[in-house]
Structure 1
Amino acid sequence: MNTPLVSAQNLQKSFSAGRRQPSIPVLRGISLEVHAGEMVSVVGPSGSGKSTLLYCLSGLEPYDAGSVELLGRELSGLSRGGLAELRRDHVGFVFQSYNLIPSLSARENVALPARLARRRTAKRDVDGALAAVGLTDRARHRPSALSGGQQQRVAIARVLAMYPDIVFADEPTGSLDTATGASVLGLLRDAASGPRSVVLVTHDLEAAARADRVLVLRDGLIHAELQSPAPEQVFDAVSLAGAVA
C-alpha cells in the first residue's frame, strides 16, 4: 500500500483544568493511517475526542506525545511558518461554522485562499467549484444573502477550488437540513478520490456510513474500526462501545 497521507502513532493530548488541577486527558494513545482515495469517518459521543483528534491530525492543535505525519512530514518538527505553509498548500478545512468573509461575494470567498497563497487561480476553477455545489447563480451574492446550506456549499467550493491533498471536515452537516446535508456529504464523498482523501468527524451515523472506514472513539481511544459499513453496523459498533451517538 502507498505511503499514507496521514499517519498518527500513539497520539496523546490533554487539556489543563486550571491551576492546581490535574490535566484532563482527551486523546490517550491513538494510532491510525489515512491513505489516498479514502474517506474516513470518526464517530463517538461528545467528549470522546473526535474534534481534538481532527485538529491534532491537521496541525491546528499541538499534541503532547506521540507523532503525526502529514504528507510524510512530522508536524512537531515544523516551525509555525512551515506548518502554516503545509496547511495552506495541501490541506482543506470544512467546519460547521462556515468561516466566510461577510464583505466578499461567494466567488470572492472561493478564490480567497489562492489569493492569500499568492497563487494564480483560474476563473474556470472557481466557477467550476461553484457549479459543482450548485451555486452558479449565487456567485455574486454575499454570505448575508445566502441560506445556511448555501453558505456551507460555498465553504466546500472554496476547498474544491484549491484541490487539496486532504480535507478535514468537522460536523459539516450539523446545522443543515436533510437534503442539503446529503448534498454536502456527496461532495465530500466525491472529493475522496484519486490522490485525495477526506477525514470527517460527525454525530450522524448515516453520514459516517458513507465513508470507506469508520473509527468509533470513546474516552480518547479507538474502540472499533469498520470497513464500508452499513448505518446499522455503525450504530451497533457505537452501542457496543458504550457510546451514545
Structure 2
Amino acid sequence: MRPGRKRREAEAAPKRTTNAPRTGGRKPESRLETRANADAVAGRNSVVEALRAKIPAKELLIAERAEIDERMTEALRLAKNQDLGIKEVARGVLDGVTGTTMHQGIALIIKPFAYKDFGQLIAQAQKPGLLIGLDGVTDPHNLGAIVRSAAAFGADGVVIPERRNAAMTGSAWKSSAGAAARLPISQVTNMVRSIEDAKKAGYFVVGLDAEGQESLPKFSLAKEPIYIIVGSEGKGLSRLVREKCDLILSIPMQSDMESLNASVATAIVLYWVSENRAKQE
C-alpha cells in the first residue's frame, strides 16, 4: 500500500454514528489554520503533561475516530476542567496544525505568550536588579530551564530577542515547570539596544563566555544591578553583543571540557550571584 493511502481512505470513510467513542464536550470542526503552529503541543504524553502543568492554552484538538485510551481520556478531562474548547478535526488538519504526522491524534494549541515591556521590566525590578538576557539560545528546552533557574535564584526577569532565539512556546513553558507564569519575560527587537537601555538604568552588563576576561570566582560586583547575557552553547555571544558588555565572565572548568550547556552555565552564575548577595546583606 502506498504511504498515506490508508489515512486518506480513513478520512474519506463515512462517519460512524453508533459506535464512535464518546468524548463528551467535543465540538464539530471549525475553520482552522492548516499550517504548522509553533505553539502546538502534539502527542498524548506531551499534551497530558502540558495540561497538568496548566500551560495557558486555547483549545484541544482531537483527530476523528482517534483511539480513546487512558491518556486521551485524561487529556479530555483536564481540558474540560480548564474550560478549554475541544474540537474534533480530520487527521489532515491535525497534520498541518502540528507540522507532523506523529501527533497520535491529539494536539494542544497554546496561547501566545504575554511578554513584558523591557522598560517595565527594569522599572519593576528589585534593588539591586538582576536580569538575564539570551543571545542566540535556540533550544526552547534551554530557554525554559533558564527561566526556571532565574525564578529559583531571585532574578527579576529574562530577556530574549525576537530573532535567532527560542520563544516561549509550549516546549519552553513545559521546561520552565511553571516558572514562566511567575517570572516576567521580555521579548525585544534588538539585544544591543536592551543593553544600552540597561546601562542607562545603572546596570553593569556581564557577558558569559568560555573565553571570558575574568573568572567567575573573581567577580566582585554581585551586589550591583547586573544584566547577565548568555550566548549559545556553540557560537557563544554575537560580536555586537560581546562588544557592548562591560565584562566577559567565564566559569572555571577542567581543561578537557569545552563548554557547558547554556542553561547549566546560567544556573551556576545565578547561584553564585545569589550566594554572594546573601553574604553581603
State TM-score, norm by structure 2: 0.21
**Structure in which a larger fraction of residues adopt strand:** 1
State TM-score, norm by structure 1: 0.23
**Which structure has the greater CA radius of gyration?**
2
Structure ranking higher on relative contact order (CA contacts 8 Å, 6+ apart): 1
